[in-house]
Protein backbone atom coordinates (compact mmCIF):
# COMPACT_ATOMS: atom_id res chain seq x y z
CA UNK A 1 0.00 0.00 0.00
CA UNK A 2 2.81 2.39 0.87
CA UNK A 3 4.57 1.56 -2.39
CA UNK A 4 1.39 2.33 -4.37
CA UNK A 5 0.99 5.66 -2.58
CA UNK A 6 4.63 6.54 -3.32
CA UNK A 7 4.17 5.66 -6.99
CA UNK A 8 1.00 7.75 -7.23
CA UNK A 9 2.69 10.64 -5.44
CA UNK A 10 5.65 10.48 -7.85
CA UNK A 11 3.31 10.33 -10.85
CA UNK A 12 1.29 13.34 -9.68
CA UNK A 13 4.53 15.17 -8.96
CA UNK A 14 5.80 14.48 -12.49
CA UNK A 15 2.50 15.62 -14.01
CA UNK A 16 2.74 18.83 -11.99
CA UNK A 17 6.27 19.59 -13.23
CA UNK A 18 5.24 18.73 -16.79
CA UNK A 19 2.36 21.22 -16.55
CA UNK A 20 4.69 23.79 -15.02
CA UNK A 21 7.20 23.45 -17.87
CA UNK A 22 4.43 23.58 -20.48
CA UNK A 23 2.95 26.78 -19.05
CA UNK A 24 6.39 28.33 -18.56
CA UNK A 25 7.71 27.71 -22.08
CA UNK A 26 4.54 28.35 -24.10
CA UNK A 27 2.94 30.91 -21.75
CA UNK A 28 -0.57 30.69 -23.27
CA UNK A 29 -2.34 34.04 -22.72
CA UNK A 30 -5.45 32.81 -20.90
CA UNK A 31 -8.27 35.29 -21.05
CA UNK A 32 -9.19 36.79 -17.69
CA UNK A 33 -5.73 36.52 -16.13
CA UNK A 34 -4.28 39.89 -15.11
CA UNK A 35 -0.74 38.78 -15.95
CA UNK A 36 0.95 36.32 -18.27
CA UNK A 37 0.83 32.78 -16.90
CA UNK A 38 4.66 32.65 -16.82
CA UNK A 39 4.56 35.16 -13.95
CA UNK A 40 2.46 32.72 -11.90
CA UNK A 41 4.94 29.95 -12.74
CA UNK A 42 7.71 32.19 -11.40
CA UNK A 43 5.85 32.60 -8.11
CA UNK A 44 5.28 28.84 -7.76
CA UNK A 45 8.90 28.02 -8.53
CA UNK A 46 10.24 30.62 -6.10
CA UNK A 47 7.94 29.41 -3.30
CA UNK A 48 8.93 25.77 -3.81
CA UNK A 49 12.61 26.68 -3.98
CA UNK A 50 12.27 28.48 -0.65
CA UNK A 51 10.40 25.52 0.84
CA UNK A 52 13.09 23.04 -0.30
CA UNK A 53 15.89 25.42 0.71
CA UNK A 54 17.39 25.50 -2.80
CA UNK A 55 16.76 29.19 -3.44
CA UNK A 56 20.14 30.14 -4.86
CA UNK A 57 21.72 30.87 -8.22
CA UNK A 58 24.82 28.75 -8.98
CA UNK A 59 28.07 30.68 -9.14
CA UNK A 60 28.50 29.39 -12.69
CA UNK A 61 25.56 31.59 -13.74
CA UNK A 62 26.66 34.79 -12.00
CA UNK A 63 28.91 35.65 -14.94
CA UNK A 64 26.01 35.04 -17.33
CA UNK A 65 23.83 37.42 -15.36
CA UNK A 66 26.65 39.95 -15.26
CA UNK A 67 26.81 39.97 -19.06
CA UNK A 68 23.08 40.70 -19.19
CA UNK A 69 23.59 43.60 -16.80
CA UNK A 70 26.24 44.98 -19.18
CA UNK A 71 23.86 44.59 -22.14
CA UNK A 72 21.05 46.33 -20.22
CA UNK A 73 23.30 49.25 -19.23
CA UNK A 74 24.56 49.58 -22.81
CA UNK A 75 20.98 49.56 -24.17
CA UNK A 76 19.90 52.23 -21.71
CA UNK A 77 22.90 54.39 -22.71
CA UNK A 78 21.97 54.05 -26.40
CA UNK A 79 18.34 54.98 -25.75
CA UNK A 80 19.42 57.95 -23.61
CA UNK A 81 21.88 59.03 -26.30
CA UNK A 82 19.06 59.11 -28.88
CA UNK A 83 16.53 60.48 -26.36
CA UNK A 84 14.12 57.62 -27.08
CA UNK A 85 13.99 55.89 -23.70
CA UNK A 86 10.78 57.70 -22.74
CA UNK A 87 8.99 57.06 -26.03
CA UNK A 88 6.15 54.55 -25.91
CA UNK A 89 7.11 50.99 -26.99
CA UNK A 90 10.78 51.83 -27.67
CA UNK A 91 11.78 50.14 -24.41
CA UNK A 92 10.11 46.88 -25.52
CA UNK A 93 13.35 45.05 -26.42
CA UNK A 94 14.97 46.34 -23.22
CA UNK A 95 12.10 44.91 -21.20
CA UNK A 96 12.50 41.57 -22.98
CA UNK A 97 16.22 41.51 -22.16
CA UNK A 98 15.38 42.20 -18.52
CA UNK A 99 12.90 39.32 -18.68
CA UNK A 100 15.79 37.06 -19.73
CA UNK A 101 17.73 38.13 -16.66
CA UNK A 102 15.09 38.32 -13.95
CA UNK A 103 12.66 35.63 -15.12
CA UNK A 104 14.11 33.15 -17.61
CA UNK A 105 17.47 32.54 -15.94
CA UNK A 106 15.91 32.53 -12.46
CA UNK A 107 13.11 30.07 -13.33
CA UNK A 108 15.46 27.79 -15.27
CA UNK A 109 18.00 27.68 -12.43
CA UNK A 110 15.51 27.24 -9.59
CA UNK A 111 13.41 24.66 -11.44
CA UNK A 112 16.53 22.61 -12.21
CA UNK A 113 17.55 22.76 -8.54
CA UNK A 114 14.04 21.76 -7.45
CA UNK A 115 13.98 18.76 -9.79
CA UNK A 116 17.45 17.75 -8.64
CA UNK A 117 16.34 18.00 -5.00
CA UNK A 118 13.28 15.88 -5.77
CA UNK A 119 15.48 13.12 -7.18
CA UNK A 120 15.05 13.81 -10.89
CA UNK A 121 17.92 13.63 -13.37
CA UNK A 122 18.85 15.51 -16.53
CA UNK A 123 17.26 12.69 -18.52
CA UNK A 124 14.01 13.34 -16.64
CA UNK A 125 14.20 17.06 -17.44
CA UNK A 126 14.71 16.42 -21.16
CA UNK A 127 11.83 13.93 -21.12
CA UNK A 128 9.58 16.53 -19.49
CA UNK A 129 10.44 19.09 -22.18
CA UNK A 130 9.91 16.46 -24.91
CA UNK A 131 6.54 15.56 -23.40
CA UNK A 132 5.53 19.23 -23.20
CA UNK A 133 6.30 19.56 -26.93
CA UNK A 134 4.19 16.45 -27.55
CA UNK A 135 1.21 17.86 -25.64
CA UNK A 136 1.47 20.99 -27.76
CA UNK A 137 1.62 18.83 -30.88
CA UNK A 138 -1.53 16.97 -29.82
CA UNK A 139 -3.35 20.26 -29.19
CA UNK A 140 -2.32 21.56 -32.63
CA UNK A 141 -3.48 18.32 -34.27
CA UNK A 142 -6.84 18.41 -32.45
CA UNK A 143 -7.38 22.04 -33.47
CA UNK A 144 -6.37 21.15 -37.02
CA UNK A 145 -8.83 18.32 -37.60
CA UNK A 146 -11.89 19.85 -35.93
CA UNK A 147 -13.38 23.32 -36.14
CA UNK A 148 -15.53 22.51 -33.10
CA UNK A 149 -12.43 21.78 -31.03
CA UNK A 150 -10.55 24.90 -32.08
CA UNK A 151 -13.65 27.07 -31.62
CA UNK A 152 -13.71 25.76 -28.04
CA UNK A 153 -10.00 25.86 -27.17
CA UNK A 154 -8.67 28.92 -29.00
CA UNK A 155 -11.06 31.44 -27.36
CA UNK A 156 -9.56 30.39 -24.01
CA UNK A 157 -6.40 32.23 -25.07
CA UNK A 158 -8.16 35.06 -26.85
CA UNK A 159 -7.72 33.65 -30.37
CA UNK A 160 -10.36 33.41 -33.08
CA UNK A 161 -10.96 30.08 -34.79
CA UNK A 162 -11.06 30.09 -38.60
CA UNK A 163 -13.23 27.83 -40.71
CA UNK A 164 -11.52 24.92 -42.47
CA UNK A 165 -10.39 25.90 -45.95
CA UNK A 166 -10.27 29.66 -45.36
CA UNK A 167 -7.08 31.70 -45.72
CA UNK A 168 -4.29 30.48 -43.40
CA UNK A 169 -6.81 28.59 -41.24
CA UNK A 170 -4.12 26.02 -40.36
CA UNK A 171 -1.74 28.56 -38.79
CA UNK A 172 -1.89 29.86 -35.24
CA UNK A 173 -3.35 26.66 -33.79
CA UNK A 174 -0.80 26.37 -30.99
CA UNK A 175 -1.89 26.79 -27.37
CA UNK A 176 0.81 29.38 -26.89
CA UNK A 177 1.61 33.08 -26.68
CA UNK A 178 3.40 32.89 -30.05
CA UNK A 179 2.25 30.48 -32.75
CA UNK A 180 4.16 31.02 -35.98
CA UNK A 181 7.83 30.86 -37.04
CA UNK A 182 9.55 30.85 -33.63
CA UNK A 183 6.89 28.49 -32.26
CA UNK A 184 7.58 26.13 -35.16
CA UNK A 185 11.34 26.37 -34.62
CA UNK A 186 11.04 25.57 -30.93
CA UNK A 187 8.91 22.52 -31.74
CA UNK A 188 11.59 21.48 -34.23
CA UNK A 189 14.20 21.53 -31.45
CA UNK A 190 12.58 18.29 -30.26
CA UNK A 191 14.66 16.45 -32.82
CA UNK A 192 17.79 17.19 -30.77
CA UNK A 193 16.26 15.48 -27.74
CA UNK A 194 15.28 12.59 -30.01
CA UNK A 195 18.87 12.42 -31.27
CA UNK A 196 20.07 12.24 -27.66
CA UNK A 197 17.73 9.32 -27.03
CA UNK A 198 19.03 7.58 -30.15
CA UNK A 199 22.66 7.99 -29.09
CA UNK A 200 21.77 6.63 -25.65
CA UNK A 201 19.93 3.72 -27.37
CA UNK A 202 16.96 4.64 -25.25
CA UNK A 203 14.23 5.29 -27.84
CA UNK A 204 10.84 3.74 -27.24
CA UNK A 205 7.94 3.43 -29.66
CA UNK A 206 6.23 6.25 -27.74
CA UNK A 207 9.24 8.53 -28.37
CA UNK A 208 9.02 7.86 -32.11
CA UNK A 209 5.28 8.54 -32.23
CA UNK A 210 5.81 11.70 -30.18
CA UNK A 211 8.31 12.91 -32.79
CA UNK A 212 5.70 12.37 -35.51
CA UNK A 213 3.03 14.47 -33.77
CA UNK A 214 5.57 17.19 -32.92
CA UNK A 215 6.78 17.24 -36.55
CA UNK A 216 3.18 17.74 -37.68
CA UNK A 217 2.87 20.80 -35.43
CA UNK A 218 6.03 22.16 -37.06
CA UNK A 219 4.83 21.81 -40.64
CA UNK A 220 1.48 23.57 -40.09
CA UNK A 221 2.87 26.40 -37.95
CA UNK A 222 5.86 27.87 -39.77
CA UNK A 223 8.21 26.92 -42.58
CA UNK A 224 11.16 28.11 -40.49
CA UNK A 225 10.68 24.98 -38.40
CA UNK A 226 11.56 22.89 -41.46
CA UNK A 227 15.09 24.29 -41.22
CA UNK A 228 15.31 22.90 -37.70
CA UNK A 229 14.02 19.49 -38.80
CA UNK A 230 16.47 19.36 -41.73
CA UNK A 231 19.39 20.48 -39.55
CA UNK A 232 18.48 17.88 -36.92
CA UNK A 233 18.25 15.07 -39.47
CA UNK A 234 21.70 15.93 -40.84
CA UNK A 235 23.07 15.98 -37.31
CA UNK A 236 21.50 12.62 -36.49
CA UNK A 237 22.94 11.14 -39.69
CA UNK A 238 26.44 12.36 -38.84
CA UNK A 239 26.28 11.29 -35.20
CA UNK A 240 24.80 7.86 -35.83
CA UNK A 241 27.14 6.97 -38.68
CA UNK A 242 30.15 7.72 -36.47
CA UNK A 243 28.66 5.48 -33.76
CA UNK A 244 27.36 2.77 -36.10
CA UNK A 245 23.75 3.47 -35.12
CA UNK A 246 22.55 4.51 -38.57
CA UNK A 247 20.27 1.52 -39.29
CA UNK A 248 18.90 1.70 -35.75
CA UNK A 249 18.01 5.36 -36.34
CA UNK A 250 16.52 4.85 -39.80
CA UNK A 251 14.18 2.20 -38.42
CA UNK A 252 12.86 4.59 -35.80
CA UNK A 253 12.54 7.56 -38.10
CA UNK A 254 10.69 5.35 -40.57
CA UNK A 255 8.06 4.63 -37.91
CA UNK A 256 7.54 8.40 -37.46
CA UNK A 257 7.16 8.89 -41.22
CA UNK A 258 4.73 5.97 -41.51
CA UNK A 259 2.75 7.43 -38.61
CA UNK A 260 2.47 10.80 -40.36
CA UNK A 261 1.34 9.22 -43.64
CA UNK A 262 -1.14 6.99 -41.83
CA UNK A 263 -2.72 10.04 -40.19
CA UNK A 264 -2.70 11.85 -43.54
CA UNK A 265 -4.59 9.11 -45.40
CA UNK A 266 -6.93 8.51 -42.45
CA UNK A 267 -8.12 12.11 -42.78
CA UNK A 268 -9.41 11.34 -46.29
CA UNK A 269 -11.97 9.03 -44.69
CA UNK A 270 -12.73 10.72 -41.39
CA UNK A 271 -12.30 14.42 -42.29
CA UNK A 272 -12.51 14.83 -46.09
CA UNK A 273 -12.80 18.63 -45.90
CA UNK A 274 -9.57 18.83 -43.91
CA UNK A 275 -7.87 16.35 -46.26
CA UNK A 276 -8.88 18.42 -49.27
CA UNK A 277 -7.63 21.63 -47.67
CA UNK A 278 -4.29 19.97 -46.86
CA UNK A 279 -3.74 19.21 -50.54
CA UNK A 280 -4.97 22.58 -51.80
CA UNK A 281 -3.49 24.92 -49.18
CA UNK A 282 -1.25 23.38 -46.51
CA UNK A 283 1.15 21.30 -48.63
CA UNK A 284 1.76 24.01 -51.30
CA UNK A 285 2.48 26.50 -48.49
CA UNK A 286 4.52 24.25 -46.18
CA UNK A 287 6.70 22.86 -48.97
CA UNK A 288 6.81 25.90 -51.24
CA UNK A 289 10.62 25.84 -51.13
CA UNK A 290 10.64 22.28 -52.54
CA UNK A 291 8.20 23.16 -55.32
CA UNK A 292 10.36 26.20 -56.06
CA UNK A 293 13.47 24.02 -56.30
CA UNK A 294 11.75 21.66 -58.72
CA UNK A 295 10.66 24.60 -60.89
CA UNK A 296 13.69 26.93 -60.70
CA UNK A 297 16.51 24.91 -59.17
CA UNK A 298 16.61 27.21 -56.10
CA UNK A 299 15.26 26.76 -52.58
CA UNK A 300 13.16 29.88 -52.02
CA UNK A 301 9.74 31.12 -50.95
CA UNK A 302 7.85 34.34 -51.54
CA UNK A 303 8.56 35.45 -47.96
CA UNK A 304 12.28 34.63 -48.14
CA UNK A 305 12.64 36.52 -51.42
CA UNK A 306 10.87 39.53 -49.88
CA UNK A 307 13.08 39.29 -46.79
CA UNK A 308 16.29 39.54 -48.83
CA UNK A 309 14.94 42.19 -51.19
CA UNK A 310 13.11 44.57 -48.84
CA UNK A 311 14.25 44.00 -45.26
CA UNK A 312 18.02 44.39 -45.55
CA UNK A 313 19.39 47.68 -46.83
CA UNK A 314 22.26 50.15 -46.43
CA UNK A 315 22.35 52.34 -43.32
CA UNK A 316 24.66 55.08 -42.03
CA UNK A 317 27.89 54.06 -40.29
CA UNK A 318 26.82 55.71 -37.04
CA UNK A 319 23.55 53.77 -37.09
CA UNK A 320 25.44 50.58 -37.85
CA UNK A 321 27.58 50.99 -34.71
CA UNK A 322 25.21 52.57 -32.17
CA UNK A 323 21.77 52.22 -33.77
CA UNK A 324 19.03 54.86 -33.74
CA UNK A 325 17.42 53.80 -30.47
CA UNK A 326 14.20 53.01 -32.32
CA UNK A 327 12.40 49.69 -32.64
CA UNK A 328 9.03 50.95 -33.87
CA UNK A 329 7.98 53.90 -36.02
CA UNK A 330 5.10 56.28 -35.36
CA UNK A 331 2.62 54.01 -37.15
CA UNK A 332 3.36 51.21 -34.70
CA UNK A 333 5.16 49.02 -37.24
CA UNK A 334 8.83 48.13 -37.00
CA UNK A 335 11.24 51.00 -37.58
CA UNK A 336 12.04 51.49 -41.27
CA UNK A 337 9.52 48.73 -42.06
CA UNK A 338 12.02 45.90 -41.60
CA UNK A 339 11.00 42.63 -40.02
CA UNK A 340 14.50 41.08 -40.13
CA UNK A 341 16.15 40.30 -36.78
CA UNK A 342 19.70 41.45 -37.44
CA UNK A 343 18.41 44.61 -39.12
CA UNK A 344 15.95 45.43 -36.34
CA UNK A 345 18.57 45.05 -33.63
CA UNK A 346 21.15 47.02 -35.61
CA UNK A 347 18.70 49.90 -35.99
CA UNK A 348 17.87 49.64 -32.29
CA UNK A 349 21.28 49.48 -30.57
CA UNK A 350 23.80 48.79 -33.32
CA UNK A 351 26.22 45.99 -34.05
CA UNK A 352 27.74 46.36 -30.57
CA UNK A 353 24.45 45.21 -29.03
CA UNK A 354 24.30 42.19 -31.36
CA UNK A 355 27.89 41.26 -30.48
CA UNK A 356 27.02 41.42 -26.77
CA UNK A 357 24.10 39.07 -27.40
CA UNK A 358 26.40 36.65 -29.23
CA UNK A 359 28.85 36.72 -26.33
CA UNK A 360 26.02 35.97 -23.89
CA UNK A 361 24.82 32.93 -25.83
CA UNK A 362 28.31 31.65 -26.66
CA UNK A 363 29.28 31.79 -22.99
CA UNK A 364 26.27 29.65 -22.14
CA UNK A 365 27.17 27.25 -24.94
CA UNK A 366 30.73 27.00 -23.58
CA UNK A 367 29.39 26.32 -20.07
CA UNK A 368 27.25 23.44 -21.28
CA UNK A 369 30.15 22.00 -23.29
CA UNK A 370 32.19 21.84 -20.08
CA UNK A 371 29.49 19.79 -18.35
CA UNK A 372 28.19 17.62 -21.19
CA UNK A 373 28.92 14.10 -22.29
CA UNK A 374 29.07 13.18 -25.97
CA UNK A 375 25.47 11.99 -26.24
CA UNK A 376 24.05 15.45 -25.54
CA UNK A 377 26.97 17.87 -25.94
CA UNK A 378 25.56 18.92 -29.33
CA UNK A 379 22.09 20.01 -28.11
CA UNK A 380 22.78 23.56 -26.88
CA UNK A 381 25.36 24.47 -29.59
CA UNK A 382 22.93 23.25 -32.28
CA UNK A 383 20.09 25.18 -30.63
CA UNK A 384 22.17 28.36 -30.71
CA UNK A 385 23.17 27.84 -34.36
CA UNK A 386 19.51 27.60 -35.36
CA UNK A 387 18.67 30.71 -33.34
CA UNK A 388 21.50 32.61 -35.05
CA UNK A 389 20.24 31.48 -38.47
CA UNK A 390 16.61 32.32 -37.68
CA UNK A 391 17.60 35.73 -36.36
CA UNK A 392 18.14 36.61 -40.02
CA UNK A 393 14.35 36.35 -40.40
CA UNK A 394 13.06 37.76 -37.10
CA UNK A 395 14.36 39.07 -33.79
CA UNK A 396 14.66 35.85 -31.82
CA UNK A 397 17.47 37.11 -29.56
CA UNK A 398 15.48 39.74 -27.70
CA UNK A 399 11.94 39.24 -28.95
CA UNK A 400 11.29 35.48 -28.84
CA UNK A 401 10.65 34.38 -25.27
CA UNK A 402 9.65 30.86 -26.32
CA UNK A 403 13.02 30.15 -27.92
CA UNK A 404 14.96 31.73 -25.06
CA UNK A 405 12.99 29.87 -22.42
CA UNK A 406 13.71 26.61 -24.20
CA UNK A 407 17.38 27.49 -24.68
CA UNK A 408 18.00 28.37 -21.05
CA UNK A 409 16.00 25.61 -19.39
CA UNK A 410 18.01 23.02 -21.36
CA UNK A 411 21.37 24.78 -21.04
CA UNK A 412 21.06 25.62 -17.35
CA UNK A 413 19.65 22.16 -16.67
CA UNK A 414 22.76 20.58 -18.19
CA UNK A 415 25.03 22.81 -16.12
CA UNK A 416 23.22 22.31 -12.80
CA UNK A 417 22.60 18.57 -13.08
CA UNK A 418 26.20 17.88 -14.05
CA UNK A 419 28.24 20.53 -12.21
CA UNK A 420 27.83 18.81 -8.82
CA UNK A 421 29.00 15.49 -10.28
CA UNK A 422 31.98 17.12 -11.98
CA UNK A 423 32.89 18.98 -8.81
CA UNK A 424 32.71 15.78 -6.79
CA UNK A 425 34.93 13.93 -9.29
CA UNK A 426 37.50 16.74 -9.29
CA UNK A 427 37.48 16.86 -5.49
CA UNK A 428 38.01 13.11 -5.23
CA UNK A 429 40.90 13.32 -7.70
CA UNK A 430 42.42 16.19 -5.73
CA UNK A 431 42.31 14.29 -2.43
CA UNK A 432 43.67 11.14 -4.07
CA UNK A 433 46.64 13.03 -5.52
CA UNK A 434 47.26 14.74 -2.19
CA UNK A 435 47.22 11.36 -0.45
CA UNK A 436 49.76 9.89 -2.85
CA UNK A 437 52.06 12.93 -2.82
CA UNK A 438 52.30 13.20 0.95
CA UNK A 439 52.17 9.46 1.53
CA UNK A 440 49.47 9.88 4.13
CA UNK A 441 48.72 6.88 6.29
CA UNK A 442 45.00 7.51 6.30
CA UNK A 443 42.85 6.93 3.27
CA UNK A 444 41.31 9.88 1.43
CA UNK A 445 38.18 11.14 3.15
CA UNK A 446 34.86 9.86 1.90
CA UNK A 447 33.08 12.76 0.26
CA UNK A 448 29.45 13.52 0.95
CA UNK A 449 27.09 16.43 0.63
CA UNK A 450 28.52 18.06 3.76
CA UNK A 451 32.16 18.26 2.69
CA UNK A 452 31.79 18.70 -1.08
Say yes or no to pLDDT of 21 above 90. yes
Kindly report, residue by residue over 208-263, the tens digit of the pLDDT. 889 999 999 999 998 889 899 999 889 888 888 776 787 878 888 888 888 888 88
**The pLDDT value given to residue 245:** 80
Say yes or no to pLDDT of 421 above 70. no
Quote the percentage of the chain above a pLDDT of 90.
Answer: 54
- Asked whether the beta carbons of 216 and 260 are under 8 A apart, the reply is yes
Q: What is the rounded end-to-end Cα distance, in angstroms, of the chain?
A: 37
Say yes or no to pLDDT of 374 above 80. no
**The pLDDT value given to residue 264:** 81
Kindly report, residue by residue over 26-66, the tens digit of the pLDDT. 999 999 888 889 999 999 999 999 999 999 888 889 999 99
Say yes or no to pLDDT of 268 above 90. no
**The pLDDT value given to residue 60:** 84
Least trusted range by pLDDT, from 336-340, 353-357, 441-445: 441-445
Mean pLDDT, residues 266-274: 84
What does the alpha-carbon distance between residue 45 and residue 371 come to, in Å, rounded to a whole number? 24
Say yes or no to pLDDT of 190 above 90. yes
Higher pLDDT among residues 312 and 425, named by residue? 312
What does the alpha-carbon distance between residue 152 and residue 101 come to, in Å, rounded to a whole number? 36
**The pLDDT value given to residue 368:** 92
Mean pLDDT, residues 95-122: 94
What does the alpha-carbon distance between residue 338 and residue 326 come to, in Å, rounded to a whole number? 12
Mean pLDDT, residues 312-332: 88
- Asked whether the beta carbons of 113 and 56 are under 8 A apart, the reply is yes
Say yes or no to pLDDT of 126 above 80. yes
Mean pLDDT, residues 130-138: 97
pLDDT band at 424 (very low <50, low <70, confident <90, very high): very low
Top-confidence range, 18-22, 194-198, 308-312: 18-22
Task: Read off φ and ψ for residue 96, nearest 5 degrees.
Answer: -65, -40
Say yes or no to pLDDT of 7 above 80. no
Say yes or no to pLDDT of 110 above 80. yes
Say yes or no to pLDDT of 102 above 80. yes
Amino acid sequence: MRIQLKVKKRTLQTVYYLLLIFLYIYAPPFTGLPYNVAKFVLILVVLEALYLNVFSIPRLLIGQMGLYVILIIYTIIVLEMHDTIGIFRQTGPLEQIMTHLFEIIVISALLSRILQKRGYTLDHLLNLIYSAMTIQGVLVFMNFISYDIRSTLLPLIGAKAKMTGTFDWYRGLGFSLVKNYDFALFQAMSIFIFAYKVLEKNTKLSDVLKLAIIAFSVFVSGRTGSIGIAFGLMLITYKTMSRKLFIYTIQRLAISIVGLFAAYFALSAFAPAVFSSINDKVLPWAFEFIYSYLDTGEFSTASSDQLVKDHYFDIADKTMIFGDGLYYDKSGFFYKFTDAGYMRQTLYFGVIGIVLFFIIYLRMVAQTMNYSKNTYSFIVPSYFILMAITHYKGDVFSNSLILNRGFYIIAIGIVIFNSSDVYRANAEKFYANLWRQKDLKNKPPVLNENNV
